[in-house]
Amino acid sequence: MSARSRRAPAPASNINAAPPQGTAGEDRVELSRQDSKAVRRRSVQLLGMLLRPVRLRFAITVALVVLSQAAKVAGPLLIAFGIDTALPALKDQGANPVPLIVTGGGYVVAALLASWLTAAYLTATARLSQAMLLDLRIQVFRHTQRLSMEFHESYTSGRIISRQTSDLEALRELLDSGISSLASGLIFMALTAVSIFSLDWITGLLVMASAVPMFFLSRWYQKRSQSAYRSSRVVSARLIVHFIETMTGIRAVKAFRREADNAATYDELAEDYRRVTVRSINLNGIFQPGLVLIGNVAVAVVLLVGGFRVLGGALEVGALLALLLATKRFFQPVGQMAMFYNSFQSAQAALEKVSGLLEEVPTVQPPRNPVPLPVAHGDIRFTGAEFGYGNGPVVLPRMDLHIPAGQTVAVVGATGAGKSTLAKLLARFYDVTAGSLKLDGVELRELSTADLRRAVVMVTQEAFLFSGTVAENIALGNPAASRSAIESAAREVGADTFIRALPDGYDTDVNKRGGRVSAGQRQLISFARAFLANPAVLILDEATSSLDIPSERLVQGGLHRLLGASGATGVAGTSGGDGRGQGGPGRTALIIAHRLSTVAIADRVLVVHDGRIVEDGTPAELISGGGRFADLHGAWQDSLV
Amino acid sequence: MTDADKSTDNTTLLASLGRLAPQLKPIFAPLIWGLLSALAASVVALLIPQVYRVLVNSALQPGNGTKGLWTGAAVVLGLGILEAGLIALRRQFVIVPATTVETRMRTSFYRHLQSLAVEFHDRWGSGQLLSRAMSDLNFMRRWMAFGAIMLVVTALTVVIGVALMLSMSWELGLIFVAAAVPIVVFGYRFRRSYGLVSRRSQDQAGDLATAVEESVHGIRVLKAFGRGREALDSFAGQAQELQATEIHKAKSLAVFSLVVTLLPELALGAGLVVGILLVSQARLDVGALVAFFATAAVVAGPVESMGPLMAMTLAAKTAVDRHFEVMDAPNTITDPAEPVRLGPVRGDLEFRGVHFHYPDTPAGTPELLNGIDLVLRAGETMALVGVTGSGKSTLLNLVPRLFDATAGAVLLDGTDIRRLALADLRRHVSVAFEDTTLFSNSVRGNVLLGAAEHPGLSPDEILEQALEVAQAGFAYALPNGVDTLIGEEGLSLSGGQRQRIALARAIAARPAVLVLDDPLSALDVNTEERVSDGLRAALVGTTTLIVAHRPSTVAMADRVALLQDGHITAVGTHSELLAGNDHYRYVLASLSEEPKDLDSDLDTDTENELADELGAAPRGTGPLDVVHRGATA
């Protein structure tokens, strides 16, 4: 796909100076030296942060690995003891069986210990890696939930899924196999190195000298594999994005016969993915045999140098043999270490992306010191409020608006006039860029998320259903609600009848994206959600678009009751009185609709044009005023039966 | 989560992995070469000590010339290079073929998914499918390229090692072999239990991916209701389940590893005691004892790695099972064996005794579509009206065969649509759904997606026309005009804008039959009117079936069909139905004739007000606005 220029507008001016921030430019593979350093640092920091809470467990796991290695060493020692000591003891006249018993018993104990320790560290490794994975999973999930709509509207769902699945998979591979092979390998090499030095320091130095080519080989590998794994992450994300898009839009894919084109695109992406995978595996295919080669060359050199010393009489043949075996052993775990380094590179590239996502700052943030608002009345006041997306142009120019508690306000205007923007500001999907927006005298951005969402609820046009039952979906409005409350909310909006007709009634699984219920029924369910939530301020953003007239009428009736039977006197009515007299103020409602039927229950109408409120008054006033609303209203009535 | 039928697999390991055979056939030779390289590398590694032996016995005697030493070192170096070369060679042989197989399986998986019916996709979450397409296949490749080969090499090494040990001392060898018996028994149990957990963990990982997918697609709802916390809790719950399964899996492997390492070691311990006794009784010489244990030491490594390799193989089996579970899902909507090719399509559309119910509808419930008979004449525009949930959308879905009727038939120009090739049918039939899916592409790309050849018109002109009819001229004002990227990866458009692009797409396809599902629901009244006017002109000669919720949409139609209780209960012009059909009036006008909701008497006020308001409305001037039923009596 093409470069995602649309996320660029923020600090695009000085790309070279600023280090990569968040997810901007995450598709780039070739990074400048300092950018590359910055993202790697970020990635390692994330790894460190994940390790910190489990450092004790980490230490225990490493200890278990080391101990199990030690227990394994005991076996050969006991065999040597058996042959050198126990055997002669038996052959002696005394025929002393004690050393034999000690040997046999010791061997059994060592075997038990070694295998138990192996099992223990396998389990410990799994616990460690799963704890870290769970931690990261939850962090990423929580963070993506926190990120503002602005972010979600440009970052694709496929990318988030890719971060949460295949990127985490890379980390999991590192944690599952990496820790034990690294720890056991290092210990093994260290112990062997000590024994080599104790036998002969010259050989020791020779072996150590092999570290030099190994270092250069590793550097080479690190550089190459870094970009290989980076592109592997980028390409796999693309593959996933395409996959998810196809599967979620499968109806349209079929209806428009996209199968062949899609398959061609996917083939191409899958082939790209294959190529980068092969590239990274091939790098490892040079790296690992390269390390083996260095080890083998070192053995040959030790043999040659040692051989000359043997010929010169400076070294015993037996000692040389021991040195050769030890040198060979020294390089044995190198293959494992290469595997560790390989998965480390892969995980690091993955964590670069994940940490970038985590670094994204929600543009809409909960306040540090929230002002409590336990009981909201629903008084809304925009003062000198302005709004524009990012650093883009102002969409909603300076505006003053007061909606008293309990008022039902209809917002009308042509598509794209800024009605939804108004709703999104009120629901705090976005923050005003200037001026203030207050609920009951409290700045919206100073309310805790819990208070805000209890007070303000928005029902949007797209009624998304989650997997689970109908009842669970309605309960989203208020998870604490009882079944009877759920059912009565459904009754209120006229959804009860069709829900009861479903195979399992309220316990019917709605399946994937509500495949089973129609668009209109989905809207009814999401209405029931809002009724259950029972907020002080209700925002309806074209929420009745898919309803037929009878359903809409039921919803209207329900709304009418929910909104506290306020002065909804319709277009014709000019009751003038404040119908909220009985039982305190009702709910405040902001209703955005292109169907003016909704206006019937509104106390007040706002006509929005080019982001400005151009008309404001009771429906009757506006109709008699002969402005835009009067025109719209006329056209709407024409459209009716 | 998804109730995708995760049939508990009863297939055996070999049967499952055997299903890979056809995939592996073309790469069989490189796999064998890879195996041989791996074996050769092991042999070379074993040869190097032999050189030491020769050197120690001959060249390395003090006073000898350096020639022998040089030769020896050169041989060791040569063998060392050879070993590294063989290791590299194994990868060279295997990697590319294995990734090719992986990619081939991945793309055919995707193709198969695309061909599977909508009904399948309704049941399966995308996340679950994604995990099968990505991690399962990745795993399978790794097993092919590494696991399978190493399993063979390891097994061979163990067998050869044990044979050597038996040849050195049959008594000691037998003790070692005896340890293998409980391992085999235990391995059998391990295979079952580990297979089950590994299946569970991979399924749970897939469900977790589905949960992520939903949390992102439903982000607006979660935000609007402030339910991030609950979503997180439920996600965390699921993630913890996966964690528990993974740990259970690791424990199961740990126990197996314990047995696999412990038993041979115990046997060796016993062997040591017996061996020393044998030597002391002079039934065995020390050299043989030393050689026995030296060999045992060589065998120990491979034996130990049997555990992880077995686990890897079992997980690969799970991956294979999960892959083929989807690949085996039958495609319920397929091309006919001998497709009929229609000549020029007139556009006569007929529903003849059409019945439909969703596959998992419990027996006894009435069918959603229960004998639909409806005839659309070529070029006619028919509105479909019915209450929410009456099956209008379902009926529409039958025309492009997104679902198939369970009984009866849909006929295009008198031919059962099931006798047409799917691609042909979907070329003749174009749709615009109410929930509009735009693809990640430019506006141009989206609109011209299924565009037919328009003689004498350039694509730009087709685009312009379609956008004009759909009142989607706003597209020219987007940042990059009609080349602006939209869809999930592009600019997000409002609901009304998306609907108009989708409408333009359906129009540009110039189909014989156009199926529109409430295509104007998100438009404001003025725009709707302009779109309707444009559509009416553009649809001349196109058979159109349009779901309508509003009188304004119905106004576009020549005739209206009323869908009620799974039947078409009335067909006629708008005015006829309005005059003579109570249910029609109930659905489309503001009159109420059906029993009201129990508590609807509470809102008679609103009801009356609405009615008043409608009654007070000035007479429309639309062609269909013949009869105007006013307020309730």
Tell me the pLDDT tens digit for each residue of B94-119.
999 999 999 999 999 999 999 999 88
With beta carbons under 8 A apart, name residues in chain A contacting B103. Answer: 270-271, 273-274
Q: How far is A198 from chain B (nearest CA, A)?
A: 22
- Token pair of A189, please? 């090499």
Please name the member of A271, A457, A554 whose beta carbon is closest to the beta carbon of B224. Answer: A457
Planar angle of CA B10, B14, B17, nearest 5 degrees:
95
Please tell me the distance in Å from B81's CA to the nearest CA on chain A: 6
- Rounded mean pLDDT of chain B? 83
Amino acid B63: pLDDT: 67
| Residue A641: per-residue pLDDT | 58
Most confident of A337-351, B437-451, B600-614: A337-351
pLDDT above 80 (res A390):
no
Distance to chain B for A292, nearest Cα, Å: 6
Mean pLDDT of B532-536: 86
Higher pLDDT, B602 or A488: A488
Query: B449 and A153: CB-CB below 8 Å?
Result: no
In chain B, where the domains are located? 170-330, 349-589, 596-633
Sign of the alpha-carbon dihedral angle for A173, A174, A175, A178 = positive
A48 or B539, greater pLDDT: A48
Type of residue at B358: Y
Of B69, B269, B617, the CB nearest to A311: B69
Minimal-distance CA residue of chain B relative to A543: B522
User: What is the share, in percent, of chain A residues with pLDDT greater than 90?
Assistant: 30
Q: Which of B140, B483, B489 to mutate to test the interface with A (most CBs of A within 10 A)?
A: B489
| Type of residue found at B452 | A
CA dist A490 and A496 (Å) reads 5
The structure tokens 């996209």 sit at: A258
Q: Which helix (H) or strand (E) holds B561?
A: strand B559-564
Domain A380-577+588-639 indexed as CATH 3.40.50.720: no
**Candidate from B273, B286, B599 with C-beta closest to A83:** B286
Q: What is the pLDDT of residue A18?
A: 56
The secondary structure element, H or E, covering residue B104 is helix B67-115
Please tell me which residue of chain B has the smallest CA distance to A2. B485
- Are B251 and A123 within 8 A, CB to CB? yes
- The 10s digit of each residue's pLDDT in B466-487 is 899 888 888 888 888 889 888 7
Domain coordinates of chain A in residue numbers? 21-359, 380-577+588-639
> Could you tell me the CATH superfamily of domain B349-589?
P-loop containing nucleotide triphosphate hydrolases (3.40.50.300)
Q: What whole-number distance in Å separates Cα of residue B376 and Cα of residue A79?
A: 92
Instruction: Return the CATH architecture of domain A21-359.
Output: Up-down Bundle (1.20)
Q: DSSP letter string over A36-98?
A: HHHHHHHHHHHHHHHHGGGHHHHHHHHHHHHHHHHHHHHHHHHHHHIIIIIHHHHHSTT---H
Shortest CA gap B414–chain A (Å): 21
Chain A positions touching B434 (Cβ under 8 A) are 519, 546
Output the pLDDT for position B204: 94
Residue A384 belongs to what H/E stretch?
strand A380-388
Contacts of B259 in chain A (CB under 8 A): 115
Q: Which of B66, B101, B219 to mutate to test the interface with A (most CBs of A within 10 A)?
A: B219
CA distance to A73, A181, B105, B310, per residue, from A67 (Å): 10, 14, 43, 25
Calculate how close chain A gets to B76, using CA atoms only, in Å: 6
Q: Check residue A583 and give left, alpha or beta (phi > 0: left; psi -120 to 50: alpha).
A: left
* Topology classification of domain B170-330: ABC transporter transmembrane region fold (1.20.1560)
pLDDT confidence of residue A11: 38
Q: How far is A307 from chain B (nearest CA, A)?
A: 6
Please spell the DSSP secondary structure of A113-175, one letter per residue. Answer: HHHHHHHHHHHHHHHHHHHHHHHHHHHHHHHHHHS-HHHHHHS-HHHHHHIIIIIHHHHHHII
pLDDT mean over A471-492: 91
Is a pLDDT exceeding 80 seen at residue B6?
A: no
CB distance from A596 to chain B under 8 Å?
yes
Identify the pLDDT of residue A13: 37
Name chain B contacts of A517, Cβ cutoff 8 Å.
389
Task: Report chain B residues whose CB lies below 8 A from the CB of A511.
Answer: 2-3, 122-123
Distance from CA of B213 to the nearest CA of A (A): 6
Lowest mean pLDDT segment, chosen from A60-74, B396-410, B581-595: B581-595
**Nearest-by-Cβ selection for B450 from A257, A513, A640:** A257
pLDDT of residue B238: 94
pLDDT digits (tens, 9 = 90+) for B345-386: 889 999 999 999 887 777 777 788 999 999 999 999 999 998
Q: How confident is the model at residue A16 (pLDDT cuts 50, 70, 90)?
A: very low
Report pLDDT for B10.
62
Task: Check if A388 contacts B (Cβ < 8 Å).
Answer: no
Question: Mean pLDDT across the stretch A447-457?
Answer: 89
- Find the mean pLDDT for residues A495-514: 78
Asked if this assembly's ipTM is beyond 0.90, the reply is no
Alpha-carbon gap, residue A17 to A295, rounded angstroms: 43
**Residue B515's pLDDT is what?**
92
Q: How many angstroms separate the first and last alpha carbons of chain B?
A: 51
The mean of the pLDDT values for chain A is 84
Tell me the pLDDT tens digit for each residue of A61-114: 989 988 888 887 777 778 878 878 888 888 776 778 888 888 888 888 988 998
In which band, very low, low, confident or very high, does the pLDDT at B490 lie, cut at 50, 70 and 90?
A: low
| B418 contacts: CB under 8 Å, gap ≥ 6 | B336, B401, B404, B409
Q: Report how far residue B380's alpha carbon sits from residue A549's, in angstroms, rounded to the nearest whole number.
A: 25
CB B474 within 8 A of CB B497: yes
Q: Find out whether A252 and B433 touch, Cβ atoms under 8 Å.
A: yes
- pLDDT score at B621: 37
Closest in A277, A301, A491 to B99, CB measured: A277
A&B contacts, CB < 8 Å = 569
Residues in A closer than 8 angstroms to B210, CB to CB, are 467
Q: Which of B261, B523, B621 sits opposite A115 (nearest CB)?
A: B261
Which residue of chain A has the CA closest to B575?
A641
Question: How confident is residue A19, by pLDDT bands cut at 50, 70 and 90?
Answer: low
Q: CA nearest A637 in B: which residue?
A: B617
Alpha-carbon distances of A165 from A131, A133, B86, B212, rounded to whole Å: 16, 11, 35, 9
**Higher model confidence: residue B168 or residue A416?**
B168
pLDDT tier, B1 (very low <50, low <70, confident <90, very high otherwise): very low
pLDDT the model gives residue B405: 93
- Taking an 8 Å cut-off on Cβ atoms, the answer to whether B209 and A2 are in contact is no
Residue among B64, B222, B246 minimizing CB distance to A145? B222
Using the Cβ of A97 and the Cβ atoms of chain B, whether some distance falls under 8 Å is answered with no
Give residue A330's pLDDT: 87
How does pLDDT run across B56-79, given as a tens digit for each residue? Answer: 777 777 666 778 888 888 988 999
Residues 14 to 73 of A: which have CB under 8 A from any B CB? none
pLDDT at B606: 41
- Tell me the nearest-neighbour CA distance from A392 into chain B, angstroms: 12
Which residue among B56, B79, B590 places its CB closest to the CB of A549?
Answer: B590
What is the model's pLDDT at position B62?
A: 65
Which chain A residues in 239-278 lie under 8 Å from chain B, judged by CB atoms? 239-241, 243-259, 262-263, 266-267, 270-271, 273-274, 277-278
pLDDT tens sequence across A269-300: 999 999 999 999 999 999 999 999 999 999 89
Residue among B249, B262, B426 minimizing CB distance to A111: B262
Q: Decide if A389 touches B, using CB distance below 8 A.
A: no
Identify the pLDDT of residue B271.
86
User: A469 CB near a chain B CB, below 8 Å?
Assistant: no
Judging contacts by C-beta atoms under 8 Å, the chain B residues touching residue A518 are 388-389, 392-393
CB contact under 8 A, B389 and A520: yes
Residues of chain A with Cβ-Cβ distance to B278 below 8 Å are none
Of A245, A429, A479, the CB nearest to B488: A245
Kindly determine whether residue B219 and residue A145, on different chains, have CB atoms separated by under 8 Å. yes
pLDDT at A583: 39
